[in-house]
């Protein structure tokens, strides 16, 4: 995961899961991904054993660092935040070398192969009209057909780099050149969904089954619903369409070793499949008054 000192315990899902692990009597270790190494065919890392507390002023008590063989662990969690860059890529390759008796959540090869925006297109019946391109002319034609689109970097995260374009708007050429880095980077262009004004639904799934959902609503003066962009969370219920989407994905998620996932749905349309470090578990637990973090840990124990 990312450094412990950057954790916000009042909302961080990784902290919440670590807390549940400690409360259930497990030993919990923090690993900086940069310390991973492969000694012939054995994966090692510098690990810090931590005791996790509900006290948000001192959420972690850390023991001295030690070099450990990760094959001695029952489970290894990949909870490093995006972007999925070259370093992240090599982390997944190293963790692929762990023996089968170690649970790696989520399966490294799937984390590597499922781009969080492109993975939604595995289920085209549930996605809005989408174009993945780095050609301004092609995106411009798509905009003319859709009249209003959302454009986001194919490797973006946290709402960064997202823009909204209207057909006939000013400065379209300049905005597309900027978004595609003058044709060097692919972007995802999608039909704009007016229901985005009402928020987007984050649904959390455990072993392919929906745990529940929250609604992420944009702050005043912005169109982005992401919590990292000033958005806020509200309670949400799963509708029939939401359950259809989850059912369509269930076998795929289980087959590919995606134990814990977060999908984003706007107006009944699937937008993203988050499998690196999906968030929202704390908010959902507070709204529904359920210990979802313990349910996740219980699933891994069994």
Domains of the chain and CATH, by start: 4-113 (3.40.50.20), 129-192 (3.30.1490.20), 195-301 (3.30.470.20)
CA 278/CA 205 separation, integer angstroms:
10
Q: Is the pLDDT of residue 230 over 90?
A: no
Going by C-beta distance under 8 Å and a sequence separation of 6 or more, which residues neighbour residue 57? none
What DSSP string runs through 195-254? GGGG-EEEEEEETTEEEEEEEEEPPTT-----GGGT-EEEEE---HHHHHHHHHHHHHHH
What's the pTM?
0.94
For CA atoms 269, 275, 280, 284, give the dihedral sign: positive
pLDDT of residue 227: 67
Spatial CA neighbour of 155 closest among 110, 96, 114? 114
pLDDT of residue 180: 97
Q: Is the pLDDT of residue 228 over 80?
A: no
Only one residue has tokens 């507390």, namely: 53
pLDDT tens track for 240-249: 999 999 999 9
pLDDT of residue 159: 77
Confidence of residue 8 (pLDDT cuts 50, 70, 90): very high
Q: Is the pLDDT of residue 223 over 80?
A: no
CA 279/CA 225 separation, integer angstroms:
14
CA 135/CA 177 separation, integer angstroms:
9
Confidence of residue 302 (pLDDT cuts 50, 70, 90): confident
Q: Is the pLDDT of residue 114 over 70?
A: yes
Going by C-beta distance under 8 Å and a sequence separation of 6 or more, which residues neighbour residue 76? 70, 95, 98, 102, 103, 104, 105
pLDDT tens track for 21-42: 999 999 999 999 999 999 999 9
Confidence of residue 225 (pLDDT cuts 50, 70, 90): low
Q: Is the pLDDT of residue 222 over 80?
A: no
Q: Is the pLDDT of residue 276 over 80?
A: yes
Confidence of residue 229 (pLDDT cuts 50, 70, 90): low
pLDDT tens track for 49-99: 999 999 999 999 999 999 999 999 999 999 999 989 999 999 999 999 999
Q: State the average pLDDT over residues 277-284.
A: 96
pLDDT tens track for 288-301: 999 999 999 999 99
Only one residue has tokens 């359950």, namely: 243
Q: State the average pLDDT over residues 129-140.
A: 97
């Amino acid at each position: 995961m990312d450094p412990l000192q950057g954790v916000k315990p009042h909302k961080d899902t990784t902290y919440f899961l670590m807390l549940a692990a400690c409360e259930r009597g497990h030993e919990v270790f923090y690993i900086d991904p940069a310390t991973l190494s492969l000694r012939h065919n054995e994966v090692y890392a510098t690990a810090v054993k931590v005791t996790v507390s509900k006290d948000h002023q001192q959420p972690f008590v850390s023991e001295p660092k030690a070099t450990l063989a990760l094959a001695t662990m029952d489970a290894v969690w990949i909870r490093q935040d995006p972007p999925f860059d070259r370093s992240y890529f090599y982390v997944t390759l190293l963790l692929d070398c762990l023996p089968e008796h170690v649970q790696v959540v989520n399966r490294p090869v799937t984390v590597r192969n499922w781009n969080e925006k492109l993975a939604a297109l595995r289920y085209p019946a549930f996605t809005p009209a989408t174009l993945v391109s780095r050609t301004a002319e092609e995106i411009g034609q798509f905009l003319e057909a859709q009249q209003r689109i959302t454009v986001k970097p194919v490797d973006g995260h946290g709402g960064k780099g997202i823009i909204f374009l209207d057909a006939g708007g000013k400065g379209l050429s300049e905005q597309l050149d900027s978004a595609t880095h003058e044709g060097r980077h692919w972007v995802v262009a999608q039909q704009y969904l007016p229901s985005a004004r009402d928020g987007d639904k984050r649904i959390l799934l455990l072993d392919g089954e929906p745990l529940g959902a929250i609604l992420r609503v944009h702050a005043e003066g912005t169109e982005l619903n992401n919590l990292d962009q000033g958005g806020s969370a509200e309670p949400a219920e799963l509708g029939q369409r939401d359950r259809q989407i989850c059912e369509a994905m269930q076998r795929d998620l289980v087959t590919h070793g995606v134990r814990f996932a977060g999908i984003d749905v706007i107006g009944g349309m699937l937008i993203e499949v988050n499998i690196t470090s999906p968030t929202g578990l704390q908010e959902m637990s507070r709204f529904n008054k359920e210990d979802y973090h313990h349910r996740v840990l219980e699933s891994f124990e069994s």
